[in-house]
Structure 1
Amino acid sequence: MASSSVTERPSLCWLPGLTMLRLDTHFEIQNVATPKLFKVITPEEFVSKGTGSCAGEASFYDLMLWLDESSTGNLEQWLSVPVGGFLLPSYPDELVSVSATVLTNPKDPLVVQPGDVIAVSPGSKVVRVLYRRGANSNLLFMTDRCNSLCLMCSQPPKDIDDRWHIDENLKLIDLVDRGAEQLGISGGEPTLYREGLLAIIEHAKNVVPEKSLHLLSNGRLLSDSTWITDLQIVNHTNLTWGVPLYADNAADHDNVVQAPGAFSETMAGLYNLQRAGQKIEIRMVLSKLTTGRLPEWAHFVFRNLPFVHHVALMGIENTGLAKKNYDQLWIDPADYQAELNNAAFFLDIRGIAVSIYNLPLCVLDPVLGRFYRQSISDWKNLFIDACQSCAATHACAGFFKSHSTKWQSRNIHPLSVDDLKEMQGAPHETA
């Protein structure tokens, strides 16, 4: 039963050098006839690279020039360049004769920056950022549909036909930057659009082979063995599947995902991924329903899925369905440190890589610091006032932007430099 108590919001803060930016904002928008993606670049990048600023096939009409105050002296000249659009801080008189798409007067001028890939649609003032240059959390979003209904789902599924995301993602891959980085693929459940997903994986392999792909899936539809051949044909060697397994038994797992038979389907899907030669990450969201048998779960993973290359133990994101199911899910992380310690070290000493995601560093047993990752995506990451004097903010995941005191551990406290020295930090990964 969901809790009916009033949620108290803590005092939030954005510490120096740490910025939480939205992935959309409002603009005044002119000349948009159809949905369109643009790569935003400066005049300097346009002159030096042109369409070479994009990883794949692109034309000048896929580019949007970023014309800030430094460009006003040559504004008329820049507005004559045959590109797809222009982004300006305000609406000057010279725009009267421009037929290209024009974005002006942003509600938040920091949201869209040079290097970003944005999406605009007719009849809407909302500009979505689909790719942010330098971000740690760029994502190819597949669908809002899902065949499970997890109790802690941060983005409750919708029963809609949103296949248009497939073409959007294929175009997005063409417009991103070249260079090594990770691109996520998520939903919803991406495998619901099987042919589209395979096309996206193959296109990414051909256009940006240097980028790793991390694909989140519940694995249920992968129980169909015909996926094995399809994945072998695509043969993306830099792809990892992140698949959640919430228990060492069917009853508990199926309860968490609210889908009878899901445990058997996911296990079959994991074995099919292994047969297809795929890299596999097992994901566990830490809650009241999952932490009690965490050591037994770790034994199950080692004995039944010894081929997995990584296990992610993840704090819960307190949004979406998690808020509705608070009473079933919430457990103070301070109360499952023994189980977390047992599971993490059991897997680690047996050669399975382990990471701990989405928890504030101060709630962990210091011996678990070696497994810790600064994991929360930059666009939804924040710190609270209690973090102001903490020495670990550069290494800590902090909190989700949906954080409230209702979901806050009693062990939240600032760490000193000496405290931090007890923990071994780890590279930046997103979850």
Structure 2
Amino acid sequence: MIPLVLNAESDAEAPFVTRLASRRSADPRESFCLSSTPTQSLWCGMEGLFTLAHPMDALTGDVVLVDPSARRAERLLRAGSPHNSLLVTEQCDQLCVMCSQPPKKTHRDRFEHFETACRLAEQGSVIGITGGEPTLHMGPLLAMIERLLADRPDLGFHILSNGQHFDAANTARLAGRLRTNIVWGIPLYAADAPLHDHIVGKPGAFERLIASFAHLLVAGARIELRTVMLEDNLDALAGLARFVAHNLPHIEQWSLMGLENIGFARRRWDALHVDLRARFAPVGNALDQASLYGVPVRLFNIPLCHIPPEFRDYAVASISDWKQRFAPACEGCAARANCAGFFEWHPDHLVEKVVPL
């Protein structure tokens, strides 16, 4: 597992963002390495000297947020990684049964640091924005992205949202510069309100979500529809495919996603998890329905050997590199490079049930 938070020591008076470089440069936003061992590196920048509990070679090019009082550094943007995301809040107004990031009541406003980090991002980066629910802070969020795109139009953003906070007031704003540079990843778990509302733990969520989709459609927003496959909604997936085809034909992609064994899902795993090796038929039916109606659909977070051969072309190597793992038996698999593998915290007894291709 790739560490995203490192022990750090700094005499700076406040948290700061910097990009790590192997040698001194003319850019004052960069810090350069003075020395490095296999376990620690010493850096120098505008905020003075600081140490990170990681070697230089693994950090060069990263954009980090150093917090002196907490004695830690967050690797906000890792060099060369397509899986960078910023956790902008841990607040949320839903309580999904399988939530991987259980919400908190408090909010730490770090938009200033995140904006600085994005300005230091590699050319053409697509940066994830996640939570909690980012649109609970819609104003600061959109303002940050608008400022960034004014100077860095090469950047793209993939924002995960529960879709509860879009209305006519922000339609025009979303239809402007933001339209082409943002993809909204929005979950829909069933075609009927009671089941969707049950899964997200919020009465009325389905109705509000459908209203939000209408506003996003008017804005011409780019949407990735996301559905986590659970015991609760497995048999409803084919119906959801037809609903999407008839009511949300403008989406860019429908992502059917395997369950992550973390957060709320960990203690409810036996009740929520579906072993797709034995019960893929409802998923296959949904994929067939989506394809029949022209809905672009993909499978996320599922190892290729757990998918019947005729459906493997739908699969995406989707799990972020920092939390991805494979079974020892996967070493000799010819399909490993194109496989999602497993989440780092997937149950060991299930990880071992692989069949190299």
Report the TM-score, using the length of structure 1 for normalisation: 0.78
Residue 57 of structure 1 aligns with which residue? none
Deviation at residue 69 of structure 1 after TM alignment: 5.8
Residue 141 of structure 2 aligns with which residue? 197
Residue 150 of structure 2 aligns with which residue? 206
Post-superposition Cα deviations, 1:279-335, rounded to whole Å, max 9, x if no partner, equal 111100011112111111101111111111210011011100001222330110123
Residue 119 of structure 2 aligns with which residue? 174
| 2:23 counterpart of 1:43 | yes
Post-superposition Cα deviations, 1:387-414, rounded to whole Å, max 9, x if no partner, equal 23322221111111111136x2785222
SS at match of 2:70: coil
CA distance in 2, matches of 1:88, 1:360: 35
SS at match of 1:157: coil
In structure 2, list runs of 5 or more residues that go unmatched: none
CA distance in 1, matches of 2:233, 2:148: 35
Post-superposition Cα deviations, 1:332-354, rounded to whole Å, max 9, x if no partner, equal 01233212122123222332211
CA distance in 2, matches of 1:195, 1:168: 16
| Code of the aligned partner of 1:226 | A
In structure 1, list runs of 5 or more residues that go unmatched: 1-19, 52-59, 71-86, 416-431
Match of 2:182 among 239, 245, 249: 239
Change (3 A) 1:294 1:172: same
Residue 133 of structure 1 aligns with which residue? 79
Determine if contact 1:32/1:120 at 8 Å carries over to the other structure: no
Match of 2:49 among 87, 90, 102: 102
Match of 2:98 among 139, 152, 163: 152
Deviation at residue 190 of structure 1 after TM alignment: 0.7
Identical-pair percentage: 34
Aligned length: 356
CA distance in 2, matches of 1:410, 1:350: 36
Determine if contact 1:190/1:217 at 8 Å carries over to the other structure: yes
Change (3 A) 1:175 1:249: same
RMSD over equivalenced CA pairs, Å = 2.3
| Code of the aligned partner of 1:42 | S
Determine if contact 2:41/2:56 at 8 Å carries over to the other structure: no
Determine if contact 2:100/2:264 at 8 Å carries over to the other structure: yes
Determine if contact 1:312/1:356 at 8 Å carries over to the other structure: yes
Which of the two has greater strand per residue? Answer: 2
Residue 11 of structure 2 aligns with which residue? 31
| 2:41 counterpart of 1:89 | yes
CA distance in 2, matches of 1:397, 1:256: 25
Residue 274 of structure 2 aligns with which residue? 331
Residue 88 of structure 2 aligns with which residue? 142
Post-superposition Cα deviations, 1:57-94, rounded to whole Å, max 9, x if no partner, equal xxx1x221123469xxxxxxxxxxxxxxxx97369xxx
| 2:167 counterpart of 1:187 | no
Match of 1:312 among 255, 269, 278: 255
Residue 64 of structure 2 aligns with which residue? 118
Listed as ranges, the matches of 1:211-290 within 5 Å are: 211-222=155-166, 224-290=167-233
Residue 392 of structure 1 aligns with which residue? 335
CA distance in 1, matches of 2:40, 2:151: 30
| Code of the aligned partner of 1:116 | D
Post-superposition Cα deviations, 1:218-248, rounded to whole Å, max 9, x if no partner, equal 10111x3212122124444121111100001
SS at match of 2:297: strand
